[in-house]
Structure 1
């Protein structure tokens, strides 16, 4: 029963659409009608408001981390892993938005940091290095995600491999259109508004 409750709590935390809330609060319009229509930080950046994008990034990361840390504190490591995965699922498929959510990258990274901070920072480093070289957010996200189970294994955190694989599968699914554009060379670069 405890695991079910922590999964529900994690899902509900993850499903809070901070990108939409922030852009509406700042009078930037409906985020789902801007750029890619995605509710995450990369699309908020397309509004030209960098502080709003940063706030979205931090809050989307934080909701995954908070789900993990709360569950770990009150119910242990297994509940923490489950709550983190549920928060990630909530971001990708939020009940409040008809299950049409974001691509999960910030929530994924925040969840990884809370799972095991060296793993999270290593995945962030993969994202950052790829972003600096390619200036393509989706490619950075995909490589960071794909690297995560390998990094978990290399750090001796075999208990996190399954959670990483679950999140990788959803990130690949949510980035299906991006993968097609990457293959044909039409994927937009970081900072472009269209």
Structure 2
């Protein structure tokens, strides 16, 4: 990630906290999303695992992006992206399919950023006039994650005030909002 070091570290702290929270929710036996009646708990665990991977991965990429080979980042996020794309095409409730598609888009965006870093490193990006990546694709992803962040923020505002303090419903929404903002910031600095 390009940009001031302070921004990278703040982004890493926020996304690491969100990813760690999602990771801790994997241990919760009542980790269930609404609409997962056919396999109680499985969809919630799948969602929390994906969000933990994305949060911790964004934190690691924000801090060590240039030190870790971009091909490793591409594989780390490309394989889950393919899995979520296949899962999103499987029959099931539309909400579950849309959620899996969102995770696929997030993992594909991380893969795209890793490949853009590889291309920038190969082309000596400090001599290039523009940023890394393809501007139309980066713009489309910025629009998607900007809209997602606004949507997640509106859902967080809709939670009852007492729920956020107890951490039962508002905290997962706050984590999704944090990761949406993190993805938007990483794409913006690409």
Taking structure 2 as the reference length, the TM-score comes to 0.32
Higher Rg of the two aligned structures: 2
Higher relative contact order, chain-length normalized (CA < 8 Å, sep 6+): 2
